[in-house]
Structure 1
């Protein structure tokens, strides 16, 4: 639903800055269905005026008019430090279409750009496009990417690159930073207006709760706890879990220096700028919980409208405790499924913890390993399990496989049925950094075929797609050093 708050303290009218000679880089016919946008046989909009709209060069496409675009104000914590007012520095919200907000990322300066140019480059735009759509196909809540429009306009980052505009869709782009913004300003009226808007449009069940604002915190907390459990289950690392990058709807958003783990490392860092490892793989649940605590702190003034201050704080502390319960339950359920278990047994988590340690010690490819579990035949000896060849300590992994097979046998499952089950929860294809980099390098030479091909493969991550088997392979040693930073 459209962002309906108004006023200079909330948002600023912002016209996109046109780019010269725009051209299509990528377009998601899947995301287009969300807004009823019809495409032709080439997979592009039937109406050619959409190119100008999604480039930021015009505000009308066919019968769609977006005459009041805005950039919104928000604040937040960045790398654990209060950063004050931030806002949409390079995102412009065009408006609402079919219940989805349409936002242009990289369409020029806004009131909140500070020292930035408001632009995005082709490299980061392609990465966001591919990952947004890949996450959707994995069944993980996310903002969507409708398109990438390119231009030869030069943009300076570490080197000279070319400009691009990524069009994004979401029911709402409201983030925890919006709540922090008004709370820090002690603007309780605006804070209440924002919370009421979010409840009305996205959490209507909260409006009838005994304590609506407390219930809203719990609901947002639960969605994000479930979200981060889903990230862990596919080895996804966000890279910059600042409070202003956390969705109030529990969506994965603001794709920057993200990465899917290849070779498993419990403390894997995907963001080259994160030298302290604040946002490493194993810390993501803790950091998400910390961000929910930021939300709870921001919402305290609204609870104090109904409760004594101490009572309100105690209620929020209790609500925060529920995050861990939701996360743990979801994480355990997901990893049981990844192991092919349909029942719950007491020692399952001990078995999983042993496995994760062995994966870490031998740097085994996370995605390929879990996918390969479906090939295990319970009547064969452990020595015939090919996955064991990826581990350094054969004695320990053989002991683990022995215990694992016994656990599988306890369910009396049929190998063929279990393989189908495992392959439905363990993807074969993920957006590996080296695959994205190859698509980007070709795109920088005006060859966008690999972006299209990769998007098509990732749209069916659980299918075998034997003709694209090489896209499931982990990177060779020479491709493991690809680094991604906050620069985009």
Structure 2
């Protein structure tokens, strides 16, 4: 494993040296071999095993410092309270990827916390990040999962665990807020140069590199949120310290994949005011970008920053339109805008399962609406919509079957339902990781039929709908 240490070279103002503190009777229970191959990491190497487990200290490993707006309130200093950046490795695409260990023990930014993670949260992040990548949503990824016999105390004692994750970068909006709020202009300039060099090198060719980079950050964020909305994903904690400067989904905690369609759904039971409700995510994305742009008020004029922010809404809307057209087998934005709003009203009224509906729509046969009508109470209302939909599709495409096949590649059969994650966690806590691997297998290929795993595509049972996730997740 060829570790590089570019972020560490920025100096002490950006981080604190921190070592992994191995857990008691820690063991490697899952390793992402395809990702490891892409990153040229040989897990069979004794040295690699010792480095990743923390048995061999890395002098350049560190925890990052940053600030952030948390549920709307500004916290001037946060940081990696339970994470350690081991360094960067180069992928087969030539790009650098961070290796970041979650649950590695106390850091200078733990704020009276124990710096640990529990098996429950590590499994949830492993499954979610890999599921998101398979759905073509930009995301951090899981490389390795460690469990242990060490007790970690949350509401009750739980099994301690560590998760090794990767991403193009762990620099957050909050990094820029930290240095800007403290008036540390030199460090802010250093961070800008670092991001231009490592994440946005094409912007260096522009006449205004900073403007070009920030415009791309806005557009990447817009596309990421549009993809969240299209697949029914809710992040749960859209604080600025949880938003990546590289436009990747990071920091999976109380997330959720929508089951019964509900625009105002709140997956995080710690979010008492519904600040991060599903329908509010696009607006929060823009709010967070506003916070980010303030950090460059001494580098660019106000009009320049406003112009950059104005790229957000059209980028999000156009990308969302494309994604929804793919889900519905349409090619006209005008037709989409006629059909989608009344459909979402029907889904809301019927509490229709979001994923199952669009999968059934992909299988729809001409003039045979019964498979979908059998799912609703108001058959007449949905039937009228389906007639309009069928007419629109037929007017746009002469090959109904081909359009349906393409829809099957846009509408997954499998998503990470909360009750499925719960069942997997219970089994793992008793030492059985087979359910975890079975679920991971279908989440890695969510558009395939996997007939042997049909049970994993079913709606949640009644008990599964009442499960709660919170910031402790």
Same fold by TM-score greater than 0.5: yes
8 Å Cα contact 1:371/1:426 also seen in 2: yes
1:172 matches 2:172: no
Contact 1:428 1:472 in 2 (8 A): yes
CA shift digits 1:360-402 (9 cap, x unpaired): 1111000011011122122x25xx4311222232221111111
In 2, distance between residues paired with 1:137 and 1:347? 28
Shift, 1:57, TM fit: 3.0
Note the C-alpha offset of 1:454.
1.2
Counterpart in the other structure of 1:222: 219
Q: Structure 2 CA distance, aligned partners of 1:202 and 1:9?
A: 20
CA RMSD after TM alignment: 1.4
Q: 1:48: Cα distance to partner? A: 4.8
Q: CA shift at 1:205, angstroms?
A: 1.9
* Map of 1:352 onto structure 2: 340
Pair 1:402-2:387 in alignment: yes
**2:444 counterpart (437, 459, 473):** 459
Aligned equivalents of 1:53, 1:148: Cα separation in 2 = 14
Tell me how far apart the structure 1 counterparts of residues 289 and 253 of structure 2 sit (CA, whole Å). 21
Q: Which residue of 346, 349, 362 corresponds with 2:350? A: 362
1:432 corresponds in structure 2 to 417
Aligned partners of 1:246 and 1:168: how far apart in 2? 16
Partner SS, residue 26 of structure 1: strand
Residue 27 of structure 2 corresponds to: 23
Task: Please name the residue that 1:14 is paired with.
Answer: 18
Aligned residue number for residue 93 of structure 2: none
Contact 1:104 1:165 in 2 (8 A): yes
User: Could you tell me which residue of structure 1 aligns to residue 314 of structure 2?
Assistant: 325
Mapped to 1, the partners of 2:166 and 2:45 lie a distance apart of 19
Q: CA deviation at 1:345?
A: 4.7
Following TM superposition, by how much is the alpha carbon of 1:50 offset from its aligned partner in structure 2, in angstroms?
4.2
Give structure 2 stretches of 5+ with no counterpart: 91-95
- Name the SS for the 1:164 alignment partner: strand
Question: What CA distance in whole angstroms lies between the structure 1 residues aligned with 2:303 and 2:356?
Answer: 45
Return the match for 1:74 from 66, 79, 89: 66
Work out whether residues 10 and 190 of structure 2, in 8 Å CA contact, stay in contact via their aligned partners in 1: no
The answer on whether the counterparts of 1:358 and 1:391 sit within 8 Å (CA) in structure 2 is: no
Aligned-partner Cα distance in 1 for 2:245–2:333: 35
For residues 347 and 94 of structure 1, the distance between their equivalents in structure 2, rounded to whole angstroms, comes to: 50
CA offset digits 1:251-293 (Å, max 9, x no partner): 0000000010111111111101011111111111100111111
DSSP-derived class of the 1:483 partner: coil
Q: Which runs of 4+ in 1 moved over 6 A?
A: none
Q: Provide the residue aligned with 1:135 in structure 2.
A: 132
**Alpha-carbon deviation of 1:132?**
0.9
8 Å CA contact 1:263, 1:364 repeated in 2 = yes
TM-score (norm 1): 0.92
Instruction: Encode CA deviations 1:229-264: one digit per residue, 9 max, x unaligned.
Output: 001111010000000000000000000000101111
1:287-329 Cα distance to aligned partner (Å, 9 max, x none) = 01111111101122222xxxxxxxx111111211110010000
Report deviation, 1:20: 1.5
Tell me the number of residue pairs that the alignment of Structure 1 and Structure 2 aligns: 464
Q: Give 1:5 shift.
A: 4.3
Task: Confirm or deny: 8 A CA contact 2:88 2:97 kept in the other structure.
Answer: yes
Counterpart of 1:410 in 2: which secondary structure? helix
Shift of 1:434: 0.8
The Cα shift of 1:355 comes to 0.4
Cα distance, 1:4 vs structure 2: 4.2
Where does structure 1 lack aligned partners over 5 or more consecutive residues?
Answer: 39-44, 60-65, 304-311
SS in 1 for 2:432: coil
TM-score by structure 2 length? 0.95
